[in-house]
Structure 1
């Protein structure tokens, strides 16, 4: 082990959080203590970002009317997604895809406006701002699991409609509705696996050597 490595217990805790992180849809109400929420947001803010642009913005939703509005946008997209799925529409509509009304904390993670001025690392890959925000969300997700809290990333919404609802400036773009809070239990496997919607693929199928498709 490198001299800079963590202790055995610390490494095991980190890998456990990664392995047991779940995209949660079922929540137990309750609340998240302010000091815990502050720790989670600090973890998100410590994520890597291209050119240190820190493109993430987090909007806390505290009014019931806004929660209902966001739930309405998600429900509308859920129906449109079902229509687009064709023969799998009925199976999709039986899935629980969000916990917007049940979670203790509701947040919207968005990309800031004015991103075009940041060129470092984005000249050929402008989508690296999105990758940076995704890293921040993952940090928050793993920290939440370590705190015993569930988090669900909801992407079923029309970005422009959500931006209007939250009064975002031109150029800002919401990427995730984040449902966060206590849960009765964590899923033992990804919910879509449990529901028979999809199966996980082995890591061996994802690794190539030297050229695309060439197995090690």
Structure 2
């Protein structure tokens, strides 16, 4: 079978995957509407269990709403720091979001009434979350290929964010996505650069024919 993709295409895909970064430092600017729509279309082309397409994207365009969300993140940042015990001060030195600096702020949420979708979820209801994560990854890789940074922020209380955004009962926010131009991409994941954690060797995570401890 003849490949639809050249070796150059294949190499580009692997390079984008390897150079994707969870960005926290942004340089302002903007994301043109047609580019934003292109990125969201890439997200919307993600696979989803039972083709349920559970993702919903909320673009935050009001400065006062962005500020409200920023305050929610700061509250959770303080709670997380306290919960980390001896690593509290180390955590507080990290830059964990770019909400006030990024060009675009998007909220990704799971839709309401997901209980109606049973195909592929009867025993694994969390596959709605897995499907939405695929959409975020699509957006992330598309953004990186267009030299835009993206950072996934999960430091927020979901119910508080739902109230701020007037979200319906049954919906569930899972991500704040900071998107926009950056001065430079990190050479390696920021948490590795800051020596917070290190990536595990792949061979430690592969098993065969059963769980191996």
Say yes or no: TM over 0.5: yes
Q: Are residues 1:95 and 2:94 paired? A: yes
In the alignment, which residue of structure 2 is the partner of 1:170?
A: 169
For residues 92-126 of structure 1, give each alpha carbon's deviation from its aligned partner in whole angstroms, at most 9, with x where no partner exists.
Answer: 00000000000000000000000000000000000
Aligned partners of 2:181 and 2:27: how far apart in 1?
A: 6
In the alignment, which residue of structure 2 is the partner of 1:184?
A: 183
In the alignment, which residue of structure 2 is the partner of 1:160?
A: 159
Matched positions, count: 213
How far 1:195 sits from its partner (Å)? 0.3
In the alignment, which residue of structure 2 is the partner of 1:36?
A: 35
Aligned partners of 2:209 and 2:5: how far apart in 1?
A: 31
In the alignment, which residue of structure 1 is the partner of 2:76?
A: 77
Structure 1 residue ranges without an equivalent (≥5)? none
In the alignment, which residue of structure 1 is the partner of 2:105?
A: 106
In the alignment, which residue of structure 2 is the partner of 1:52?
A: 51
In the alignment, which residue of structure 2 is the partner of 1:11?
A: 10
For residues 42-93 of structure 1, give each alpha carbon's deviation from its aligned partner in whole angstroms, at most 9, with x where no partner exists.
Answer: 0000000000000000000000111000000000000000000000000000
Aligned partners of 1:61 and 1:211: how far apart in 2?
A: 45
Structure 2 residue ranges without an equivalent (≥5)? none
In the alignment, which residue of structure 2 is the partner of 1:139?
A: 138
TM-score normalised by length of structure 2:
0.99
For residues 151-200 of structure 1, give each alpha carbon's deviation from its aligned partner in whole angstroms, at most 9, with x where no partner exists.
Answer: 00000000010011000000000000000000000000000000010111
How far 1:213 sits from its partner (Å)? 1.1
In the alignment, which residue of structure 2 is the partner of 1:66?
A: 65
Aligned partners of 2:206 and 2:2: how far apart in 1?
A: 29
**Could you say what secondary structure the match of 2:132 adopts?**
helix
Aligned partners of 2:204 and 2:176: how far apart in 1?
A: 31
Could you say what the CA RMSD is over the residues aligned between the two structures, in angstroms?
0.8
